[in-house]
Amino acid sequence: MTTSEVSPAPRTLWHITGGQRLYYLGAILALGLSNLFMFGAPLVGKYAIDMVVASDLGLGIPVLSWLAKLNGNHAMMTYLWLSAAATLSLTAIGAVFQYMRGRWAARASEAIVRWVRNQLFRHLTYLPARFYDHADTGDLVQRCNSDVETLRVFLAKDVVDIGRALLLIITVSPVLFWLDTRLAMVSLLLIPLLIVFAYMFFMRLKAIFLITDEAEAEMTAVLQENLTGIRVVRAFARQAYETEKFAAKNDAFRDHHHHMIQLMGIYWGVSDTLAILQMGLVLFAGAGWVGDGSITVGTLFAFLTYLTMILWPLREMGRVLTDAGKAVVALERINDILNEREESRTRHHPVRRAEGRIDVEHVSFGYTPHYHILHDISFSVAPGETLALVGPPGAGKSTVVRLLLRLYDYEQGSIRLDGLELRTLDRQYVRQQFGVVLQEPFLYSKTIRGNLLVGQPGATHTELGEAVQHAAIDADILSFPAGEETLVGERGVTLSGGQRQRLALARALLHQPAILVLDDALSAVDTGTEQRILDALDKRRGNQTTIVIAHRLSSVMHADRILVFDAGRIVQSGSHETLAEQMGPYRNLCQIQGHLDTEIDRDMQRFNLETIS
C-alpha cells in the first residue's frame, strides 16, 4: 500500500511552453527570415534613389545594374522597374514567412492552453472537499476561463513579438552601422529610454492588472451566485438588492479597468513622443550630413525607413509587456489552484465488491483543528443490515457519512470497511461501494434516462424499470409526455423536490451499491410514497447495507438498529421497540411525532366532515 500526496509543481511561463518550444523556435526563425527579406526592400530603395539622383547606373545594386544595361537605351528606366519588382518580391517572400510565424505560434499557443485547461479541470476534480468548503465558484470559473484566455493571447502573439523586437535590434543595428556609424548612433539614442520606460510601465501595470482581475472575479462570482440562486432571489424579492450589489462590483471593475486604460493612454502618449523625437533627431542630423555631402539622400531614406520599422515594434513593447504582466498574473492565479494539494491517493483497491460491513471505533473528528464535531463515535453495521441515524439538526449525522465516503479523513479512531482500514483504501474504490442520495440531490441537465444511467452506464431496460419502480418514480415518468426522454433542466429544476429525490434514489439503486445511504433523502416525499419505497428497500435488504438518516420516525422505525445523535455523540442505540420504551430523546421524538400525527388525523377528519356536510 502506498500513499502519495499529489500536487503539481508551480509552473512558470517557461515551464508551460515546455513541449512547444520547437514551434516557437520555428516561429521566431520564420520571423527572422521575414525580417531579413523585408529589410532588403529599403536597401533596394536607397540604391535606386542614389542612382537616380546621381544619374549613374554604377551606383545601383550591381546585379540590377547589369540586368538593366542589357536593355540598352532604357537602362535607367529598366533599373527602376527591376527595383520595384525586387522590392515587391522581397516583401512577398517576407509575408510568406510572416504567415508561417503566425501559424506556428498559434499552433504552439493553442496546444499549451488546451493542456493548461485540461490540467486545471482534472486537478479541480481531484481537489479535496476541504478546498471546496472555502472556494468561490465564480472565482474558479474566472480563473479557468478569463485567466486562461489572457495566457492564450500572450502565448499566441506576444512571445513571438518579444523575439521579433530582439531580432529587429540585432539584425537592423549592424546594417545601420554599416550604412553610417554617426547616424546609426543618433538613430539608437532614445531607444534605451523607450525600453526602460516600457519596463517601468510593465511593472506598474502588473499590479493594477491583478486588482482588476480580482475585481472581475468578484463580479463574476455575484453573477454566478445570482444565476444559480435566481429562484431564491425572486422568492425573497431581492432583485433590487442584488442588482445594486452587482452594480457596485461592476463599478469597481470599471474603475480599475479605466485606471488601466488611462495608464495605457499615458504610455502611448509618451512613447509616441519619444518615437517622433527619435525620427526628428535622425531627420535633423541626417539632413545636415546630406547637406555637407557626407551621406547620400538614399542613405537617409534607408535610415528613416528602418527607424519606422524598428520604432513600431518597440513602441508595441509597451502593449506586449502589458500582456506579459497580465499573463504572469493570470498564471499565478492558475497556479494558486494547481498548487492546492489533491486528495491523497491510496493504491489499495480490492478487486471485489465490498460486502458492506462497517466498523467505526472511537472516531472523533472536526472540520477545523481543535474543534470536534464528532466525539468518540463507535458503531458497527453487518452486511445487509439497515442502520438509522436520528438526532437534531447539526448533530453530526451527515458528517459520519462524509467520513465513510472518505470526503474528509479522520485522524482519531478507526473506520473499517469489510475489516479494512478505510484510510488505506483507494478513495475511488470506497466511493464506488456507496450509493448516496442526498436531501438536495444534484441532477445533470440532461434527460431522465441520461441521469439514471449515471448510476450504471450499461444498465439494461429491465434494470432501469426495476430501479424506477423501487424508487416509486415509475408513475411520474410515465405521466411525462416524453417519458424517460424528458429533459430535467439545470439541476433538475423542472422536477418537484420529491421527484428529484426519487430520481436520485433510482440512480443510486441502479448503481447496485454495497452500501446505500439515504441522507434525509425522503424528506420531500409524501408518507404513502415513502412507505412504498421503504417496502421496496425492505425486499432488497439482503442486497446491500443501508444507512438511513431521517427526521421522520416512519423512515427509521423499521431499521435493525437506530443510533440517536446529539451534539456529535451517540446518546442512544437500539431498535425502535427498545428505544421507544426507554426514557430519552428517542422517546421524546416518538411522543412529539405521535402527537403531531394525532393532530393531523384529527384535522383531516374534521376537514372531511366539513366537506361532506
Ligand X SMILES: Nc1ncnc2c1ncn2[C@@H]1O[C@H](COP(=O)(O)OP(=O)(O)OP(=O)(O)O)[C@@H](O)[C@H]1O
> Considering beta carbons, is residue 10 or 394 the nearer one to ligand X?
394
Q: Which of 398, 432, 486, 512 binds ligand X (CB under 6 A)?
A: 398
The 3-class SS string of 142-184 reads HHHHHHHHHHHHHHHHHHHHHHHHHHHHHHHHHHHHHHCHHHH
- Residue 20 or residue 399: which is nearer to ligand X going by CB? 399
The reply to whether 441 sits near ligand X by the rule CB under 6 A is no
45 contacts 187 by C-beta, under 8 angstroms: no
393 binds ligand X (CB under 6 A): yes
SS3 441: coil
Taking CB under 6 A as the rule, does residue 369 contact ligand X?
Answer: no
Q: Which of 399, 501, 529, 555 binds ligand X (CB under 6 A)?
A: 399
Which of 157, 397, 427, 576 touches ligand X by CB under 6 A? 397
Question: CB 398 → ligand X: shortest distance, Å?
Answer: 3
Q: Specify the residue, 35 or 439, whose C-beta has the smaller distance to ligand X.
A: 439
- Count of positions on this chain that bind ligand X (CB under 6 A): 12
* Range 452-471, binding ligand X (CB under 6 A): none
Residue 105 φ then ψ, to 5°: -65, -40
Where in 267-296 is the site for ligand X (CB under 6 A)? none
Nearer to ligand X, 310 or 374 (CB): 374
Distance of CA 514 to the CA centre of its chain: 34
Cβ closest to ligand X, residue 41 vs residue 557: 557
Q: Which cell numbers in the block locate residue 391? A: 438526532
Closest distance of CB 125 from ligand X, Å: 18
- Among the listed ranges 82-90, 394-402, 503-511, 600-608, the one in contact with ligand X (CB under 6 A) is 394-402
Secondary structure (DSSP) of 455-516: T-TT--HHHHHHHHHHTT-HHHHHHSTTGGG-B--GGGTTS-HHHHHHHHHHHHHHT--SEE
* Residue choice 127, 211, 260, 373 for contact with ligand X (CB under 6 A): 373
Exposure class string for 220-240: b at 16+ Cβ within 10 A, else e: bbbbbbbeeeeeebeeeeeee
Enclosing H/E stretch for 204: helix 191-228
Q: 468 or 559, CB closer to ligand X?
A: 559
**Nearer to ligand X by C-beta: 318 or 391?**
391
All residues at 6 or more sequence positions from 172 whose CB lies less than 8 Å from its CB, including other chains: 39, 306, 309, 310
Q: Which stretch binds ligand X (CB under 6 A): 52-60, 282-290, 337-345, 391-399?
A: 391-399
Q: Phi-psi category of 520—alpha, beta or left, where left has phi over 0 and alpha has psi -120 to 50? A: left
Return the residue matching grid coordinates 527570415.
33
- Asked if 576 is part of the footprint of ligand X (rule: CB under 6 A), the reply reads no
Q: Name the minimum Å distance from CB 116 to ligand X.
A: 29
Using the minimum distance from each CB to ligand X, give the nearer residue, 51 or 589: 589
User: Which set of grid coordinates corresponds to residue 196?
Assistant: 526602460
Residue 445, by phi and psi: left (phi above 0), alpha (psi -120 to 50) or beta? beta
Residues pairing with 515 in the sheet: 434, 545
Asked if 396 touches ligand X (CB under 6 A), the answer is yes
Which of 394, 465, 489, 594 binds ligand X (CB under 6 A)? It is 394
Q: Which stretch binds ligand X (CB under 6 A): 149-157, 340-348, 390-398, 527-535?
A: 390-398
Which of the stretches 198-206, 326-334, 395-403, 474-482 binds ligand X when contact is defined by CB under 6 A?
395-403
Which contiguous run of DSSP H or E holds residue 611?
Answer: helix 585-612
Encoded amino acid at 181, one letter: T
Mask 469-508, x = binds ligand X (CB under 6 A)?
----------------------------------------
Q: Which stretch binds ligand X (CB under 6 A): 10-18, 92-100, 393-401, 416-424?
A: 393-401
* Grid cell of 432 as nine digits: 464506488
CB-wise, 316 or 520, nearer to ligand X? 520
Is 261 exposed, middle or buried (CB count within 10 Å of its CB: 0-12, 13-18, 19+)?
A: exposed
- Residue 389 backbone dihedrals phi, psi, to 5 degrees: -115, 125
Single out the residue of 133, 336, 361, 490 in contact with ligand X (rule: CB under 6 A).
Answer: 133
The one segment of 64-72, 293-301, 396-404, 574-582 that binds ligand X by CB under 6 A: 396-404
CB atoms within 10 A of CB 572: 18
Q: Cell numbers 440531490 label which residue? A: 441
Judged by the rule CB under 6 A, the positions of this chain that interact with ligand X are: 133, 367, 373, 391, 393-399, 520
